[in-house]
Amino acid sequence: MTEIVFKRSMSLGTICAENDDEFLKSCFLETPEYNELCDFKNRKMILLGRTGTGKTALLNEIKNKVDYYIPIKPDMFAMQYIASVPFVKRLVDEGINLDILYKFLWLHEIISQIIKNYFSYQKKKFLDELIKMVKDVGRLNQLKKYVDEYDGVFFDEGISEKITNELQSHVATVVGSDIAKLEGKLSDTQRQEIQIKASQYINKKQISQLKNIISIFKEYFSNNRQKKIVVVIDNLDDKWVESNSKYKLIDALLTAMKEFSDIINLKILIAMRADLLAKTCEVTKRQNEKDGSFTLKLDWNPQMLEELLNKRVAHLFAYKYKKQTNLTFKDIFKINVKGTTALNYIVDRSMMRPRDLISFVNLCLIEADGKTTITEENILSAELNYKKERLQALDHEWSNIYGNIEGYINILYHLGNKFKYMDLINNKYNEISEMIFEYFKDCDMQLKNDFKYSESQTSYAREQNIRKLLNVMYTIGLIGIKTKNSDIVKYATPFAASLTALDYNENIEFCIYPLFAK
């Protein structure tokens, strides 16, 4: 084998799928989840996974398998307008349920994007095309009437403004004026009447018309199956709307997407983090189990991650550096680290996520700059920088849900690498309470209120508080669990993202994640 000199410029790709075209095209790993998404008979539409598990990479690859790939960016359409309208804000402040309005906005955006991209919308041409495949004249006439009414604003924010103004006029009949300018709180009777008026208007006029279009699509595409269409909604975890509205809007999206599930050659794909879905269900009281049959959870195992590394190593040295074509990861990481193989050591600290894995290996290559072998010292040195990166990433990923992530990490370091549930309650509860007040300072008031010590605090309350603390640590990936008679430590996955009541017993030991161990 020709001797390899490692360079700090070497890389197995970037950790951001949007900027990793070269490696994604040459080294894409066809996982079971990818095959499910490409199967249009499979109606899985919610792609669920933690940050770095490859959601965006999967969606980018699917682009090559379909005839029409239609991305919808949440920060680019009507939600921005709606969230800033004083009339809508007043309805929200008064507790008026606007779920039906949010559902309309999603349905309209998806439908208009399909019409614009698939049919290259021109009104007459669009209607003539439908007439060829759809026999129900009554539904076609309804569609024509709707398109005539909204033709000038159908593909821009104008329709949102038009609908909002019409809705505002309907609501004004209840309160007698512009509700946004009305002084004082509404009465219960007024709120009930406004709720009825708003729901009836959106349901009867708008939603019914959009459902009519969907039923026409269903018939049209059942007679015209040659083309495959994917509508992709990603980046829902970005700051595209203020937090109070985001969960309601996502809840409405998950409801709206099911309206399209019967269209055979159309797929609506929604990529989102598992924690975002969990928070949406918590805030909106959404029944998560109803989405189960539509959900595809991304999960990686060590064998898949090794295959991914092998593909990227082969590409790096065969094509970029014109070296041997049959190199594998183990060919360049030949050493053991703390008694285990370099592969196992690195994978065990990757949280089973491709992004983290690639980041760690890239840092190892930097440490080996100018050398012909990668040493244990190189990997351990790279791990220090990798650990800092991962702690920052955890804070970015979870702070909007759980607040001060650094506080949880500081508390964990005081608990040690291994500990028992009952020991925290019986021997360390007061110490944990003091640390919470020290590390969380002016934030996370609910957490501090829960742990505020008093002689009257019941043992049940203490147990519940410790459970909440451990569940956060487990969910974000700081700790795992193992039973007394097993050496296997289980960490959070998309299939078991939080602890259950069975995990809090004397036979369970909590273990800090290897990367964060002292």
pLDDT score at 338: 95
pLDDT score at 157: 61
Torsion of CA 59, 62, 66, 68, to 10 degrees: 20
pLDDT score at 215: 93
Q: What percent of the chain has pLDDT over 70?
A: 93
Per-residue model confidence as pLDDT tens digits over 446-500: 777 778 766 667 888 889 999 999 999 999 999 999 988 788 899 988 777 889 8
Highest mean pLDDT, choosing among 164-168, 183-187, 266-270, 286-290: 266-270
Rounded Cα distance, 137 and 151, in Å = 20
Range 241-262 average pLDDT: 88
**How would residue 364 be classed by pLDDT, with cut points 50, 70 and 90?**
very high
Rounded Cα distance, 247 and 400, in Å = 13
Range 229-245 average pLDDT: 84
pLDDT score at 153: 61
pLDDT score at 453: 62
Per-residue model confidence as pLDDT tens digits over 135-171: 888 999 888 888 787 776 666 666 777 778 888 887 7
Range 294-309 average pLDDT: 93
- The secondary structure element, H or E, covering residue 32 is helix 32-38
Rounded to 10°, the helix 99-118/243-257 angle is: 60
Residue 20 has pLDDT above 70, yes or no: no
| The pair of three-digit structure tokens given for residue 69, joined into one six-digit string | 């790939």
Range 293-301 average pLDDT: 90
Rounded Cα distance, 383 and 362, in Å = 11
Residue 19 has pLDDT above 60, yes or no: no
| The pair of three-digit structure tokens given for residue 437, joined into one six-digit string | 């007040």
Torsion of CA 260, 266, 271, 275, to 10 degrees: 30
**How would residue 357 be classed by pLDDT, with cut points 50, 70 and 90?**
very high
Q: What ranges make up the beta strands (E) of 383-457?
A: 418-420
pLDDT score at 69: 95
* CB contact at 8 A, 217 and 127: no
**How would residue 90 be classed by pLDDT, with cut points 50, 70 and 90?**
confident
Amino acid at 443: C
**How would residue 126 be classed by pLDDT, with cut points 50, 70 and 90?**
confident
